[in-house]
Structures are given as C-alpha cells and as structure tokens.
Chain A
C-alpha cells in the first residue's frame, strides 16, 4: 500500500510495514536536549543507571536557552550537560554556537532520518525530509541511552501550496496564516506534509520556517520531500553524500488536504496571546511596540537577516522602540558580519545579542516590562513567554519586524521594499 513520508520513514526505522495509527518502536538516528530539558534527562539516566549514549556522535547537548549563563543556578545546570558530554562522548554545542534547531539542520540531520529532541521545535529538521519531533526529557533520555523510542505513526495532513509570494510576503506569513486557519490545536497528533509548486520553489530557509512552526498547530512533525533544493543545501553544508530522495507515494492516504494559494496572502501577524490569533498587517498597523526581536530558531537565518537589513539600511529605529538582532547560529552571525549586515543593524540602532534562545524563551537578553509590547520573529507568543506575564507579544516576518522597528508601531513592510 502507498505511504506518506512519515509512514515510509517510520516503517524503515521500525522494521515494520507501518501506517497511521500503528504503534512502533523505532530506531532513532539522532537525539538532542538543551539546557532547559537536558539536566532532567541526565538525572533520569542516572536514576536508570544508564548514563550512556547509544550513538554519542549523534547525541547533541545544546547550551542555548541561557547562553551565556545569566545566573549561577543555570551555570550549574550547564555543568550537568558538560559532565555528561565528557563522560559519554556526546557532542556539546556550547554557548557560542547557536540555537539547537538551527544547529541540527546545519550540521547533523539528513533526509530520511529520525530525530527526537527535548524541545518542541525539534520538528524544524522535517524540512530536510526527516521525521523530527519534540518530546520530554524522560522520553529523550531513554532514546539517548537505548537508541530507540516508541511512536504512534501519525495521520498526515497534506498542505498543498500554490502560487507565488507577492513582494513583502514570506513563508512566515504563510505559516502564521495556516495556523490561524486551522487553530493552535488544529493538527494535534498529526503530521503536516508541505508540498505543491510553491513549496518546490521555496528555499531551505523558508522550509525551515514552516517546519519549525508545525508544532504551533499542534502537529507532531512537519515534513517536506527531499529534493534538489535539499541536495544543494546539504552540499553547501559539506554533506552532499547524505542526500537521498524522500518523497511520499503519489496515492498515499491523507487524513485531510488543505490548499493554500500564497499569491492571496498578506503580511500576517499573530496577536497576543496565542499563535492562532492572526490578523493581516493592515488590521493591526499602528499598534505601539516597545521592542522588536529579529532572530531566533524560526527566523534568525542569513536569509532573514538580509531581508531585515535591506529595510533598515540607512534608517534608524524609532527612539521609543528597542531593536534586538539574534542570529540563529554562530555560522549565521559570521556570515552576517562578512556581508556587512551587522554594521547596518548597529547603524540602525540595534543591539546584537548572542546566538541562542534568550529573549524568546524569557530567560534573559530582552525580557519585557509590565505592559510592554514586542513584535518578534519567533514562533510563539504565549502569555509570559518573554519573561513577563504582563507583556504582549506579536509575531511577524523579519520584514514586518524591521519596518516596525523604524516606525515604532506595527508597520507594513511593503512600502520599504
């Protein structure tokens, strides 16, 4: 019988003929934890007496959520990960290296593989044609030690995307629109498979943005076929030999099919306090914004920074609006320096913060004050997310963010392009 991408990958990894609804025990190719979830994972392994990694070369411990550490308790949490890496040979991705999801696709994940991660946005790697999903510390701990996990094979929603993006409209607008359309629980327990001519034409950066936010619709994974664009990306990252074609069978069974024509999309904003509370930029333009954050694992790639820099070049931020730039990884940061983007940001009045999760996760480096509003390119806007339940978070594309920094209120980027 024909299979979806997720059914193919999980069949291969469980040695069974698996379809949606089946429970499988699957081999995992890679696992990740970060400094928020990793210490608990290590403690669980210690309780089990299994302080080891079945695949140390594919087990990555990230220090990214509080990097560099803003307080001693977190430095001690970091020590737990450092010690575990030293003991087991697992890889430590340290404070300078960047956000786990960006780092996983840059250097560790390949098409057709299975990744489990103790971070909900682990699904980002689905853009490479992998099955990647977020779990808790105990699940990932057992995955690290045994090299296996149990999974219910999810039903798949096909998201068939057509049309061409209008100027000033990006994949971020598409995913916000989609989440607004089906709701924050619209795809709970499902896999989203993104396909269609607009996806075929999309670069990897755009695909990572879509896959990253699959979990914001409740999905278990967001998957893409691995194609020539995927191959070129892997070649650029020095592992073209890992490319393989991963594609759904043409007559695979989908639970639902959604069709979206991107040429009809407007710049889209998620309003406080849920991601599915979406509006077009025109509906919220003029809302006062105290802080703009451009970056994070959702939209902190070089392509995103280029868009923002183009809008900000030769302009300055509104004096009442702080502007934070957070490259997703050290690699992105270096490229941004080489391309002169960082100089443009600083000239525009931006503060550049260390690659990592800081402001997005509310730990440090950009916490909101009472009653303050932020326009961020991150993936979620829950109450309290940026460190203060009295804050308000709007989500938008890097272009919207840059235009908003200039005007000090939510702004349509199209007039700057």
Chain B
C-alpha cells in the first residue's frame, strides 16, 4: 500500500492528552466531531490543515498515557496515512493496529515539517521525496501484521471466529 503526503512534525512524548484531550471527553461518543480536534493541544492548526494521506511524524514515545482508543481512531478519521515515530507507547501501538492505523518505527530525524513523503506501509519503505532519501522502518511483529491485514482486531475476530494468531 503506497501512500503519498506531507509530513506534520511533532516532538517527543506526544501524549494521548495531546491527541484526544480530556476536556473533550464529552465528544468521545461522537468521533467525527472529536476528530476535528485531533492533536489540537500539540498543534492547534493540525486538524484544519491535514489532508488525506498526510503523515504524523514524531520523536520518541508517541501516544504515551491513556488507554483511550479514541486517540488512534481520530488520527485515522482525520485521514492520516500513517504515524511515523522513533518509538511508540505500548497501549497506543496496540490500539493503532487494532483500529487499522499504520504505525511505523523509524528514524524520523531525517524528516522535517512539510517534507513530501511516499510510504509503502507493507514493506516499511519511506521515501523522503523532498530530501531525496530513503528510510527503512522496523518491521511489525507477525501478530500485528496479521491483525492489520485482517483490517483490525474486530474484523480479525469476526473473520476467524476467535483469535487466529499463528503465523
């Protein structure tokens, strides 16, 4: 799956409070509305500027904090093609796979705000078109590839009538 878009660059330790703030708790049962505020507390202009296929690019420990699955869900709903980070917090990472949001662990220091990227999620190949460089992402664990390929955990469970995680 090839995705092409622009990089929106964030720093380290972007928490679930940055992505889906507690002060918007009342919107959690209205995800399209909550998505209009995605990442608002890290970059107030992000939600209005992001275009389908664009990328969230961040430093270390992206998604730390709450278990709220709303965080990856609204990033996906906002049209983001993938999140690229140096590392992810555990629960966010698992949630992202469950909701079908591609997450790639890679060296994001070679990507700046506004860079044009082309990403092959399956192969983990990232082309920074602006800078003319290629970046390779770490491959996902086999279990997660399986869930992602099934279209997320719900679809996986529905398709197999339970967990079918053997590679």
Q: Show the binding face of A for B, using Cβ within 8 Å.
A: 23, 25, 36-37, 39-40, 44, 47-48, 65-66, 71, 73-74, 76-77, 80, 117-120, 122, 134-139, 142, 146, 148, 150, 152, 184-185, 188-189, 215, 218, 220, 273-274, 361-363, 367, 380, 382-389
Supposing A36-B68, A188-B90 touch, asked if A361 and B22 sit within 8 A by C-beta, the answer is yes
**Can you list 18 pairs linking A and B with CB atoms under 8 Å apart?**
A23-B165, A36-B25, A40-B70, A44-B154, A48-B157, A65-B25, A73-B30, A76-B29, A135-B67, A136-B68, A137-B67, A150-B165, A185-B60, A185-B87, A189-B90, A382-B65, A384-B17, A386-B22
Interface residues of B in 98-142 (CB under 8 A from A): 98-99, 141
Q: Establish whether residues B69 and A40, one from each chain, have CB atoms under 8 Å apart when the complex forms.
A: yes
Of the four ranges (under 10, 10 to 19, 20 to 34, 35 or more), the interface on chain B belongs to 35 or more
Complexed CA–CA distance, A37 and B154 (Å): 16
Complexed CA–CA distance, A407 and B114 (Å): 48
Interfacial chain B residues near A152, Cβ < 8 Å? 141, 143
* Smallest CB gap from B64: residue in A: A184
Complexed CA–CA distance, A220 and B91 (Å): 8
CB distance from B114 to the nearest CB of A (A): 24
Most-contacted residue by chain B among A37, A215, A385 (CB, 10 A): A385
B77 within 8 A of A: no
Interface residues of B in 12-34 (CB under 8 A from A): 13, 15-18, 21-23, 25-30
Q: Establish whether residues A48 and B154, one from each chain, have CB atoms under 8 Å apart when the complex forms.
A: yes
* Smallest CB gap from B21: residue in A: A384
Q: Establish whether residues B94 and A136, one from each chain, have CB atoms under 8 Å apart when the complex forms.
A: yes
Q: Establish whether residues A136 and B67, one from each chain, have CB atoms under 8 Å apart when the complex forms.
A: yes
Q: Establish whether residues A135 and B94, one from each chain, have CB atoms under 8 Å apart when the complex forms.
A: yes
Q: Establish whether residues B94 and A139, one from each chain, have CB atoms under 8 Å apart when the complex forms.
A: yes
Interfacial chain B residues near A188, Cβ < 8 Å? 61, 87, 89-90
Interfacial chain B residues near A80, Cβ < 8 Å? 29
Q: Establish whether residues A118 and B70, one from each chain, have CB atoms under 8 Å apart when the complex forms.
A: no
Q: Establish whether residues A37 and B89, one from each chain, have CB atoms under 8 Å apart when the complex forms.
A: no
Supposing A36-B68, A77-B28, A136-B67 touch, asked if A387 and B158 sit within 8 A by C-beta, the answer is no
Q: Establish whether residues A136 and B69, one from each chain, have CB atoms under 8 Å apart when the complex forms.
A: yes
* Smallest CB gap from A72: residue in B: B26
Complexed CA–CA distance, A387 and B17 (Å): 9
Interface residues of B in 52-79 (CB under 8 A from A): 60-61, 64-70
Q: Establish whether residues B69 and A137, one from each chain, have CB atoms under 8 Å apart when the complex forms.
A: yes
Q: Establish whether residues A363 and B163, one from each chain, have CB atoms under 8 Å apart when the complex forms.
A: no
* Smallest CB gap from A24: residue in B: B165
**CB < 8 Å neighbour of B91 from A44, A120, A388:** A120
Complexed CA–CA distance, A142 and B154 (Å): 8
B81 within 8 A of A: no
Complexed CA–CA distance, A383 and B64 (Å): 12
Complexed CA–CA distance, A358 and B57 (Å): 32
CB distance from B6 to the nearest CB of A (A): 24
Supposing A138-B154, A185-B87 touch, asked if A146 and B162 sit within 8 A by C-beta, the answer is yes
* Smallest CB gap from B158: residue in A: A48
**CB < 8 Å neighbour of A384 from B22, B152, B158:** B22
CB distance from A142 to the nearest CB of B (A): 5
Q: Establish whether residues A134 and B91, one from each chain, have CB atoms under 8 Å apart when the complex forms.
A: yes
B41 within 8 A of A: yes
Q: Establish whether residues B95 and A136, one from each chain, have CB atoms under 8 Å apart when the complex forms.
A: yes
Complexed CA–CA distance, A25 and B143 (Å): 12
Supposing A136-B68, A138-B69, A185-B61 touch, asked if A387 and B23 sit within 8 A by C-beta, the answer is yes
Q: Establish whether residues A389 and B41, one from each chain, have CB atoms under 8 Å apart when the complex forms.
A: yes
Interfacial chain A residues near B65, Cβ < 8 Å? 120, 380, 382
Q: Establish whether residues B153 and A120, one from each chain, have CB atoms under 8 Å apart when the complex forms.
A: no
Complexed CA–CA distance, A262 and B90 (Å): 29
* Nearest 6 Cβ contacts at the A-B interface: A362-B22, A136-B69, A136-B95, A73-B26, A185-B61, A382-B15
Interfacial chain B residues near A274, Cβ < 8 Å? 13
**CB < 8 Å neighbour of B64 from A66, A76, A185, A220:** A185
CB distance from B60 to the nearest CB of A (A): 6
Q: Establish whether residues A385 and B61, one from each chain, have CB atoms under 8 Å apart when the complex forms.
A: no
Complexed CA–CA distance, A119 and B67 (Å): 5
Q: Establish whether residues A37 and B90, one from each chain, have CB atoms under 8 Å apart when the complex forms.
A: no
* Smallest CB gap from A66: residue in B: B25
Complexed CA–CA distance, A65 and B64 (Å): 19
Q: Establish whether residues B23 and A74, one from each chain, have CB atoms under 8 Å apart when the complex forms.
A: no
Complexed CA–CA distance, A44 and B141 (Å): 24
Supposing A48-B157, A134-B67 touch, asked if A77 and B87 sit within 8 A by C-beta, the answer is no
Interfacial chain B residues near A150, Cβ < 8 Å? 143, 163, 165
Complexed CA–CA distance, A261 and B30 (Å): 49
CB distance from B41 to the nearest CB of A (A): 4
Interfacial chain A residues near B141, Cβ < 8 Å? 152
Q: Establish whether residues A367 and B91, one from each chain, have CB atoms under 8 Å apart when the complex forms.
A: no
Q: Establish whether residues B165 and A73, one from each chain, have CB atoms under 8 Å apart when the complex forms.
A: no
Additional 6 contacts, C-beta under 8 A, given A73-B30, A136-B95, A136-B99: A23-B143, A25-B165, A380-B65, A382-B15, A383-B41, A389-B41
**CB < 8 Å neighbour of A218 from B25, B66, B89, B143:** B89
Interfacial chain B residues near A44, Cβ < 8 Å? 154
**CB < 8 Å neighbour of A74 from B25, B68, B95, B165:** B25
